[in-house]
Amino acid sequence: MLSRILLFFLFLSFFLEARDNDYSLNSSFVTLAGARFNLLNNGDSPDRYIWLHGDEQTAKIALEDHVEEYGGIAFFVQSSTREVPFKSTIIDLNRIFSREGAYHALKKFQPYWKPHTLDRALDELDEERDSFLNVLMPSESGILIAVHNNFRGYNINIEKSRSQRVSIKDNQNPRDFIICTNKDDYEIIASGPYNVVLQNQPPENDDGSLSWEAIRRNVRYLNIETRLGQLLIQRAMLDYVAKNLD
Ligand SMILES: [Zn+2]
């Protein structure tokens, strides 16, 4: 309990010092598309972390442990499902970090929208996205790390075609891998034990994923992805990047 109170006051002081946007000064959460993200703030590390998919519980536990040990600010979505309710539909929060991606995300489960309502929803997301990203993105010295889990088919081979470099290790499961947007970070991770791809150029079709926005903002970004349930591996991958990247 004491540590929770401490975290709250650390967060509060962070907002009092650092925020000049319209977020409330006395809240310990931010919102995106109506979804709430609770913040865990530990110390003054410049690194930022995000857990965006509520059904990927292994990643959540790995991240909580990691921030406790290494510090930084972590954003945790308050949802138990991958998609969250928005307007009259549901959306994947990791598909709305561009207007183009948001357009497809909004139409995925609800193809038909009344005249102008889709545009208005997109305008609203544009505004919220900017405020959210201004809080989420790290300063120049920091790294933004997203943690994800996969359930069955998704693996590193699917990322090959949109990657500039690929390092696949024989003794690693292809479903446990890292996506990286910075070439120097890639070189370091590629020389270590884990699978990694470099994606430092925006794709032809932006699907609204956070990684493309990180590239546009020239932010060092990592997606640490493992099979659901592989807590030890995900912890070890987080540990590896914390110890080896400056
Ligand atoms: Zn995910």
Could you give the domains of the chain?
Answer: 21-244 (3.40.630)
Cα 88 to ligand 1 centroid, rounded to whole Å: 23
Q: Tell which residue, 153, 176, 146, 156, has the closest CA to residue 52.
A: 146
* Section 4-22 average pLDDT: 45
Q: Tell which residue, 182, 183, 184, 194, has the closest CA to residue 224.
A: 194
Cα 31 to ligand 1 centroid, rounded to whole Å: 18
Cα 189 to ligand 1 centroid, rounded to whole Å: 21
Q: What is the dihedral of CA 186, 192, 195, 199, to 10 degrees?
A: 0
**pLDDT value for 152:** 84
Cα 181 to ligand 1 centroid, rounded to whole Å: 17
pLDDT at 145 over 70: yes
Cα 17 to ligand 1 centroid, rounded to whole Å: 31
* pLDDT band, very low/low/confident/very high, at 5 (cuts 50, 70, 90): very low
* pLDDT band, very low/low/confident/very high, at 246 (cuts 50, 70, 90): confident
Alpha helices in the chain (DSSP H): 2-18, 57-70, 99-108, 117-136, 156-159, 183-190, 210-216, 231-244
Cα 234 to ligand 1 centroid, rounded to whole Å: 13
3-class DSSP assignment, residue 235: helix
Cα 116 to ligand 1 centroid, rounded to whole Å: 31
Cα 20 to ligand 1 centroid, rounded to whole Å: 30
Q: What residues flank ion ligand 1 with Cβ within 5 A?
A: 53, 148
Other Cβ atoms closer than 10 A to 19: 13
Cα 56 to ligand 1 centroid, rounded to whole Å: 6
Dig out the tokens for 165 from the structure. Answer: 């470099």
**pLDDT value for 13:** 46
**pLDDT value for 237:** 98
pLDDT for 85-129, tens place per residue? 999 999 999 999 999 999 999 999 999 999 899 999 999 999 999
Cα 15 to ligand 1 centroid, rounded to whole Å: 27
Dig out the tokens for 196 from the structure. Answer: 């990694």
The structure tokens 């994606």 sit at 199
Rg of the chain over all Cα atoms, to the nearest angstrom? 18
Rounded Cα gap, residues 48 and 165, in angstroms: 24
Which of 16-20, 27-31, 131-135 has the weakest average pLDDT?
16-20
* pLDDT band, very low/low/confident/very high, at 24 (cuts 50, 70, 90): very low
* Section 78-84 average pLDDT: 97
**pLDDT value for 25:** 36
Cα 107 to ligand 1 centroid, rounded to whole Å: 20
The structure tokens 């993200």 sit at 37
pLDDT at 22 over 60: no
Cα 246 to ligand 1 centroid, rounded to whole Å: 25
pLDDT for 149-160, tens place per residue? 999 889 999 999
Cα 212 to ligand 1 centroid, rounded to whole Å: 15
Cα 10 to ligand 1 centroid, rounded to whole Å: 28
Amino acid at 198: L
* Section 58-84 average pLDDT: 97
